[in-house]
A = this chain, B = another copy of it.
Amino acid sequence: MSITAPAGFRAAGVTAGLKASGKPDLALVVNDGPQHVGAAVFTSNRVVGAPVTWSRQVVADGVVNAVVLNSGGANVATGPEGFGHAHATAERAADLLGISAADVVVCSTGLIGVPLAADRLLAGLDVAAAALGTDGGEAAATAIMTTDTVAKTTHVPGAGWSVGGMAKGAGMLAPALATMLVVLTTDAVVDAATADAALRDAVGTTFDRIDSDGCMSTSDTVVLMSSGASGITPTPEDFAEAVRSACATLARALIADAEGSTHDIAVEVVGATDTGAAVAVARAVTRSNLFKAAMFGNDPNWGRIIAQVGTVPEDVAPFDPARLDVSINGLLICRAGGAHEDPAQLDLAADREVHVRIDLHAGDAAATVWTNDLSHAYVHENSAYST
């Protein structure tokens, strides 16, 4: 059950020949309406791919009719020619579908600085358009995979309407800068403002809280389309919750499939003065190579955790270092800033998932950021990706 589970959507995934492997590399998702509401969130990187520049314009009016996604080339740092390729992609899709190019979002993933094989992509679009079907969601999810080991899809049912989704990438999965592409579909009747608000809220507490390797992509795109085909208008709260649930499932799936990783690590910060403080502390820990390497070694090295906590400025996260508690998988190994239970009681090798809980004892706010461990396989893959 994927992006074609909600009514009003067709999708396809085909091989355009962009990948040397010959695996599927081009996906097309079409919203057949009756409504064509669209919203999207893009990377906050100042260096962005041509598809991001193009697609920002597309979504500005809240209307999206289709999304074209390719793997096998990011179309980033490719200059005016690259923008031309993104534009031509939208034009060809529009011609094939009888819609306006200004309503076609384009997403690309792969190496940076390499020209897109635009001829192959455009020819592939003809094949994709012919292959469109209301059962094409899985094929589309497969075509956007890079080093993902499984296609990632989700479906959240509502009362007579639903939200579908697919995702690729994240962290070690996507050595070319952790590129994450996500398409969400719904047949709920929602207006553009409601869709935009629901998507931004959902991304802020899901995709924005996974951090596999700290590297921000130039191509991250999360796009939501509503067909309204169910004829049902959910409450904004119900709709937002369904979108959040779909994003949470996909975000968790990205971490779980992070290639080269041996652990999924939840860093939960509680007792913070506000959510921003909790996120800042959690993110500091998830970005520590020393902590992540220790996790790879199944070493519950809490010293590396509190040292990272201490790097967060006091105006960002007020707390007293002498009151810090740290638990791993429920065992309180650091209490009031010092050693407590014996970490040797922990067997981190037993499970893929590790739960780190840090109590700042400064307030009532909490947040969780997910990351992976730093492994030999991560170094290997990322030292050998483009050469």
Contacts and interface: CB of A to CB of B under 8 A. Distances in A.
Interface in A189-244: 213-218
A386 interface: yes
Contacts of A77: 303, 306, 334, 337-339
Contacts of A114: 339
- Count class of interface residues, chain A: 35 or more
Interface stretch (A34-42, A147-155, A288-296): A288-296
Interface string A21-52: 00000000000000000000000011110000
Contacts of A378: 289, 293, 379
Given A175-B290, A303-B111, A47 B321 contact: yes
Contact of A45 (B45, B74, B310): B310
Contacts of A293: 378-379, 382-383
A314 B384 CA distance: 32
Contacts of A338: 77-79, 113
A112 B302 CA distance: 8
Interface in A288-316: 288-290, 293-294, 296-299, 301-304, 306-312, 314
A126 B338 CA distance: 30
Contacts of A289: 213-215, 289, 374, 378, 382
Query: Looking at chain A's contact residues, is the secondary structure mostly helix, strand, loop, or mixed?
Result: loop
Interface in A226-269: none
Given A214-B287, A379-B379, A387-B299, A47 B177 contact: no
A309 B339 CA distance: 39
Contact of A337 (B79, B374, B375): B79
B112 A297 contact: no
Contact of A306 (B112, B324, B387): B112
A176 interface: yes
A294 B307 CA distance: 27
A336 B384 CA distance: 26
A337 B47 contact: yes
Nearest to A387: B299
B48 A310 contact: yes
Contacts of A306: 47, 77, 112
A125 interface: no
Contact of A339 (B45, B113, B217, B298): B113
| Shortest beta-carbon contacts, A-B, top 5 | A112-B303, A297-B383, A47-B310, A293-B382, A46-B310
Given A216-B307, A297-B382, A297-B387, 11 more contacts: A46-B314, A46-B321, A76-B303, A77-B303, A77-B337, A79-B336, A112-B302, A176-B303, A213-B290, A289-B382, A379-B379
6 contacts: A113-B302, A114-B339, A214-B288, A218-B310, A296-B379, A376-B376
